[in-house]
Amino acid sequence: MHLEEEDFSYSGEALIARPNNPSSISDDEWGDYLFMRKNPKGRHVEQWQHSSGCRKFFVIERNTIDNTIYSSYTMIQASKEIKHETN
């Protein structure tokens, strides 16, 4: 099935875990969580929302040079599978 890009909204880098204990971490750690981004030239793991459709968020791995999409995940799959790969 083909859907237009306009059906979706972009929500940036995926799998940025919110620190469990914000009040006890340093300003550097909190600033890093809030603002710092990988912004890679190449493969990027990112969140999108099907905002004009089912409203679900999902994760894809996309190439930021030529827009090739390598894989897609539900949020639950992504948190299990991709984290597992990078750990």
Partner 1 sequence: MKYSIFSLLKQGLKDNKEWPEAWSSPIIKSRYDVVIIGGGGHGLATAYYLAKEHGVKNIAVLEKGYIGGGNTARNTTIVRSNYLWDESAMLYQHSLDLWNGLSQDLNYNVMFSARGVYNLGHTLQEMRDIERRVNANVINGITAEVVLADEIKKRIPLINISKNVRYPIMGASYQSTGGVARHDAVAWGFARAAAALGVDIVEQCEVTAMDIDNSKIVGLNTTKGYVATNQVGCVAAGHSSVLAEMANVRLPIESHPLQAFVSEPMKAVLDTVVMSNAVHGYISQSDKGDLVIGAGIDSYNSYSQRGSPHVIEHTAAAILELFPAFSRARMNRQWGGIVDTTPDACPIISKTNVEGLYFNCGWGTGGFKATPGSGHVFASTLANDSPHPLAVPFAIERFYNGHLIDEHGAAGVAH
Interface positions with partner 1 (CB under 8 A): 4-6, 9-10, 12-13, 27-28, 30-32, 34-41, 44, 46, 62, 64-67
| CB neighbour list of residue 76: distance below 8 Å, 6 or more residues apart | none
Q: How far is the CB of 31 from partner 1 (least distance, A)?
A: 4
Cβ closer to partner 1: 12 or 56?
A: 12
Residue found by looking up tokens 């995940």 in the block:
73
> Tokens for 29?
């750690």
Cβ closer to partner 1: 27 or 85?
A: 27
Q: Is 77 helix (H, G, I), strand (E, B) or coil?
A: helix
